[in-house]
């Protein structure tokens, strides 16, 4: 028995076709400007609930893509999310992706203040990259710090709030979304407990690919 080898690009295209077909069969209509993000997250997780629990502030996708095309930095809260971001596509716009979780300055600040490294890392990143896209897929305390900063006047290009887990996860997402809406900060948030570093990277990549003209 011989089997045709399906190349990665073909697999991805067929997967996206299946996702679009199943969303239609479920009666879930995703606005065109958000479809690439929603489908990319479903492609990453095989979880169609993201069609319902991904929440976007008005104009978030377009504003984030504009910032990415202008070469903004992407800040992640984990090295896992950092590894998943398409740095080649980002570099094509003149941008970079960074994570400060292992930075000695962050470790020292967290120890001195009695906070988590994720909390301290967001503070440092906000100082160094004020117009960045912040992609949080793991640490609720990172979202808590970003929420505080936004309330104090910080205006990032986008906050992706998709930490996964059971402790302070739901609350941190809701607080971030509320603060972002009040301040007019673009945000994409996965309400509820679901999320993760892979989801955070998938959202960044969906924005990057579409900004670069790549379609599926």
Which tens digit of pLDDT belongs to each residue from 122-181?
999 999 999 999 999 999 999 999 999 999 999 999 999 999 999 999 999 999 999 999
**Contacts with 111 (C-beta within 8 Å, 6 or more apart), sequence order:** none
pLDDT in tens, 168-211: 999 999 999 999 999 999 999 999 999 999 999 999 999 999 99
Angle of helix 8-26 relative to helix 32-45, nearest 10 degrees, comes to: 110
Residue 1 has pLDDT above 50, yes or no: no
Check residue 185 and give its pLDDT: 98
List the chain domain ranges: 52-211
Question: For the chain, what percent of residues have pLDDT higher than 70?
Answer: 95
Residue 3 has pLDDT above 80, yes or no: no
**What does the alpha-carbon distance between residue 120 and residue 149 come to, in Å, rounded to a whole number?**
12
Residue 97 has pLDDT above 60, yes or no: yes
Tell me the three-class secondary structure of the chain, residue by residue: CCCCCCCHHHHHHHHHHHHHHHHHHHCCCCCHHHHHHHHHHHHHHCCCCHHHHEEECCCHHHHHHHHHHCCCCEEECCHHHHHHCCHHHHHHCCCCEEECCCCHHHHHHHHHHCCCHHHHHHHHHHHHCCCCEEEECCCHHHHHHHHHHHHCCCCCCEEEECCCCCCCHHHHHHHHHHHHHHHCCCEEEECCCCCCHHHHHHHHHHHHHHHCCCCC
Mean pLDDT, the chain, as a whole number? 94
Residue 214 has pLDDT above 90, yes or no: no
Closest CA to 160 of 199, 120, 121, 213: 199
Task: Report, as residue numbers or ranges, the catalytic residues.
Answer: 43
Residue 17 has pLDDT above 50, yes or no: yes
Q: Which residue has the higher pLDDT, 73 or 28?
A: 73
What is the CATH superfamily name and number for domain 52-211?
Answer: Cobalamin biosynthesis CobH/CbiC, precorrin-8X methylmutase (3.40.50.10230)
The structure's pTM equals 0.94
């Amino acid at each position: 028995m011989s089997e045709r080898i399906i190349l990665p690009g073909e697999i991805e295209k067929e997967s996206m076709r299946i996702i679009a077909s199943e969303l239609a069969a479920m009666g879930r209509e995703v606005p065109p400007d958000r479809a690439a993000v929603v489908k990319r997250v479903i492609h990453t997780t095989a979880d169609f609930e993201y069609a319902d629990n991904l929440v976007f502030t008005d104009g978030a996708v377009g504003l984030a893509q504009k910032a990415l095309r202008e070469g903004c930095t992407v800040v992640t809260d984990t090295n896992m999310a950092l590894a998943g971001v398409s740095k080649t596509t980002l570099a094509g716009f003149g941008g970079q992706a960074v994570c400060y979780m292992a930075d000695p300055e962050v470790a020292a600040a967290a120890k001195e203040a009695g906070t988590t490294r994720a909390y301290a890392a967001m503070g440092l990143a906000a100082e160094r990259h004020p117009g960045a896209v912040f992609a949080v897929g793991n640490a609720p305390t990172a979202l808590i710090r970003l929420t505080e900063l936004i309330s104090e006047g910080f205006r990032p290009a986008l906050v992706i709030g998709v930490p996964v887990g059971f402790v302070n996860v739901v609350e941190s997402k809701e607080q971030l979304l509320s603060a972002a809406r009040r301040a007019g900060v673009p945000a994409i948030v996965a309400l509820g407990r679901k999320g993760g570093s892979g989801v955070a990277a998938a959202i960044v990549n969906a924005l990057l690919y579409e900004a670069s003209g790549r379609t599926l």
